[in-house]
Amino acid sequence: MANPSILILAGDGIGPEVMAEVKKIITWYGEKRDLVFDVSEDLVGGAAYDVHGVPLADETMAKAQQVDAVMLGAVGGPKYDVLDFSVKPERGLLRLRKEMDLFANLRPAQCFDALADFSSLKKDVVAGLDIMIVRELTSGVYFGQPRGITTLENGSRVGINTQHYTTEEIRRVARSAFELAKRRGNKVCSMEKANVMESGILWREEVQWVHDNEYPEVELSHMFADNGAMQLVRWPKQFDVILTDNLFGDILSDCAAMLTGSLGMLPSASLGAPMANGRPKAMYEPVHGSAPDIAGQGKANPIACILSFAMALRYSFDQGDEASRLEKAVEKVLADGVRTADLMGPDGGTPVSTAEMGAKIIAAL
Amino acid sequence: MANPSILILAGDGIGPEVMAEVKKIITWYGEKRDLVFDVSEDLVGGAAYDVHGVPLADETMAKAQQVDAVMLGAVGGPKYDVLDFSVKPERGLLRLRKEMDLFANLRPAQCFDALADFSSLKKDVVAGLDIMIVRELTSGVYFGQPRGITTLENGSRVGINTQHYTTEEIRRVARSAFELAKRRGNKVCSMEKANVMESGILWREEVQWVHDNEYPEVELSHMFADNGAMQLVRWPKQFDVILTDNLFGDILSDCAAMLTGSLGMLPSASLGAPMANGRPKAMYEPVHGSAPDIAGQGKANPIACILSFAMALRYSFDQGDEASRLEKAVEKVLADGVRTADLMGPDGGTPVSTAEMGAKIIAAL
Ligand SMILES: CC(C)[C@H](C(=O)O)[C@@H](O)C(=O)O
Ligand SMILES: CC(C)[C@H](C(=O)O)[C@@H](O)C(=O)O
> CB-based contact (8 Å) between A125 and chain B?
yes
Own/partner long-range contacts of A124-129 (Cβ < 8 Å, ≥24 apart)? A125/A235, A125/A236, A125/A237, A125/A259, A125/B120, A126/A236, A126/A259, A126/A260, A126/A261, A128/A237, A129/A236, A129/A237, A129/A259, A129/A260
Element (H, E) at B340: none
What is the least distance, in Å, from the CA of A31 to any CA of chain B? Answer: 40
Q: Ligand 1, from A85, A86, A94, A268: best to mutate by most atoms within 8 Å of Cβ?
A: A94
B343 or A102, which is more confident? A102
> Taking 70 as the threshold, does the pLDDT of residue B68 lie above it?
yes
Above 90 in pLDDT, residue B113?
A: no
Residues of A in contact with B234 (CB under 8 A): 120, 258
- Give the model's confidence band at A348: pLDDT under 50 very low, under 70 low, under 90 confident, else very high: low
Distance CA A9, CA A64 (A): 9
Topology match between the domains B1-110+263-365 and B130-259:
yes
Our answer on whether the CB atom of A250 is closer than 6 Å to any ligand 1 atom is yes
Q: Scanning every residue of chain A, which has its alpha carbon at the shortest distance from the alpha carbon of B253?
A: A226
Asked if A4 and A68 touch (Cβ cutoff 8 Å), the reply is yes
Predicted confidence band of residue A264 (pLDDT cuts 50, 70, 90):
confident
Q: In this complex, do A255 and B201 lie within 8 Å of one another by their Cβ atoms? A: no
Return the CATH number of the domain spanning residue range A1-112+262-365: 3.40.718.10
Does B360 score more than 80 pLDDT? yes
> Which one of A143, A193, A247, A265 would you mutate to disrupt binding with B, by most B Cβ within 10 Å of its Cβ?
A247
Rounded to the nearest angstrom, the gap between the alpha carbon of residue A347 and the centroid of all alpha carbons in its chain is 31
Instruction: Give yes or no for residue A353 having a pLDDT over 90.
Output: yes
As a whole number, the mean pLDDT across chain A is: 96
The number of C-beta contacts closer than 8 angstroms across A and B is: 188
Among this protein's residues, is A113 annotated catalytic?
Answer: no
Which residues have C-beta atoms less than 6 Å from ligand 2? A 195-196, 226; B 90, 93-94, 250
**pLDDT at A101 (0 to 100):** 98
Interface touch B160/A161, C-beta < 8 Å = no
Parallel/antiparallel/unpaired status of strands A130-136 and A104-110: antiparallel
Where b means 16+ CB within 10 Å and e means fewer, A51-77 reads eeebbbbeebbebbeebbbbbbbbbbb
B199 has a chain A CB within 8 A of its CB: yes
Q: How many CB atoms lie within 10 A of CB A94?
A: 20
- A140-259 maps to CATH 3.40.50.2300: yes
List the one residue out of A8, A20, A42, A45 whose CA is nearest residue A292: A45
In terms of DSSP bridges, do strands A5-11 and A69-74 run parallel, antiparallel, or are they unpaired?
Answer: parallel
pLDDT surpasses 90 at A192: yes
Instruction: Give distance in angstroms: CA of B263 to centre of ligand 1.
Output: 30
**How do residues A18-77 score in pLDDT, each as one tens digit?**
999 999 999 999 999 999 999 999 999 999 999 999 999 999 999 999 999 999 999 999
Instruction: Please state, in angstroms and rounded to a whole number, the distance separating the CA atoms of residues A19 and A9.
Output: 9
A157 vs B: CB within 8 A? yes
Work out the angle at residue B136's Cα, subtended by the Cα atoms of residues A89 and B290, and round it to the nearest 5 degrees. 120
Q: What is the pLDDT of residue A347?
A: 64
Does B235 touch chain A if contact means CB atoms closer than 8 Å? yes
Three-state secondary structure call for residue A272 = strand
Q: In what order do the strands lie in the sheet with B144-151?
A: A144-151, A157-166, B157-166, B144-151
Interface residue B233 vs chain A (CB under 8 A): yes
Q: Is B159 left (phi over 0), alpha (psi -120 to 50) or beta?
A: beta
Flag whether pLDDT at B348 surpasses 70.
no
In the annotation, is A336 catalytic?
A: no
B254 is a catalytic site residue? yes
In this structure, which residue's CA is closest to atom 2 in ligand 1?
A90
At residue B74, the 3 state secondary structure works out as strand
Give the pLDDT of residue B264: 85
- B283 forms beta bridges with B70, B270
Q: How many CB atoms lie within 10 A of CB B208?
A: 14
Residue type, A213: N
Architecture of domain B1-110+263-365: 3-Layer(aba) Sandwich (3.40)
CA nearest A280: which of A130, A108, A139, A105?
Answer: A105
A79 inside 8 A of chain B by CB: no
Mean pLDDT of B81-103: 95
Please list, in sequence order, all residues whose beta carbon lies within 8 angstroms of the beta carbon of residue B247, skipping any fewer than 6 positions away: A193, B140, B141, B142, B163
Cα B99 from Cα A188, distance rounded (Å): 38
- Residue-wise DSSP of B255-300: HHHHHTT-GGG-EEEEEEEE-TTSPEEEEEEESS---GGGTTTT--
Chain A residue with minimal CA distance to B118?
Answer: A234
Q: Among the atoms of ligand 1, which is closest to the Cα of residue B226? A: 9
* Type of residue found at B184: R
B130-259 carries CATH number 3.40.50.300: no
Pairwise CA distance, residues B268 & B271, whole Å: 10
The one-letter code for the residue type at B65 is Q
Residue nearest to atom 6 of ligand 1 (CA): A250
- For B270-305, the pLDDT digits (tens) are 999 999 999 999 999 999 999 999 999 999 999 999
Interval between CA B250 and ligand 2 midpoint (Å): 7
Nearest protein CA to atom 1 of ligand 2, as residue: B90
| B348: exposed, middle or buried (Cβ count in 10 Å: 0-12, 13-18, 19+) | exposed
Residue B347 binned pLDDT confidence (cut-offs 50, 70, 90): low
Backbone φ and ψ of A37, nearest 5°: -110, 145
Instruction: Please indicate whether residue B226, judged by its CB atom, sits closer than 6 Å to ligand 1.
Output: yes
What distance in Å separates the CA atoms of residue A195 and residue A163, rounded to the nearest whole number?
15
Which H or E run contains A180? helix A167-182
Give the pairing type, strands A69-74 and A280-286: parallel
Give, using CA atoms, the residue closest to atom 1 of ligand 1. A90
pLDDT at B1 over 80: no
* pTM recorded for the entire structure: 0.96
Alpha carbon of B110 to those of A29, B126, B131, B237: distances in Å? 52, 9, 6, 10
The answer to whether residue A106 scores a pLDDT higher than 70 is yes
Instruction: Give the pLDDT band (50/70/90) at residue A263.
Output: confident
Name which of B255, B263, B342 to mutate to probe chain A: the one with the most chain A Cβ atoms within 10 A of its Cβ: B255
Minimal-distance CA residue to ligand 1 atom 11: A250
Tens-digit pLDDT profile for residues B168-184: 999 999 999 999 999 99
Provide the residue ranges of all domains of chain A, joining segments of one domain with +. 1-112+262-365, 140-259
Share of chain A above pLDDT 90, in %: 93
CB-nearest partner of A162 from B162, B165, B235: B162
- DSSP H/E element including A110: strand A104-110
How would residue A346 be classed by pLDDT, with cut points 50, 70 and 90? low
Q: Where are the alpha helices (DSSP H) in chain B?
A: 15-33, 46-52, 58-66, 89-99, 123-126, 167-182, 198-214, 225-234, 246-259, 303-315, 320-335, 354-364
Which pLDDT value is given to residue A2?
86
Would strands B241-244 and B157-166 be described as parallel, antiparallel, or unpaired? unpaired
Active site residue A240: no
Nearest-CA neighbor of B306 among B21, B40, B8?
B21
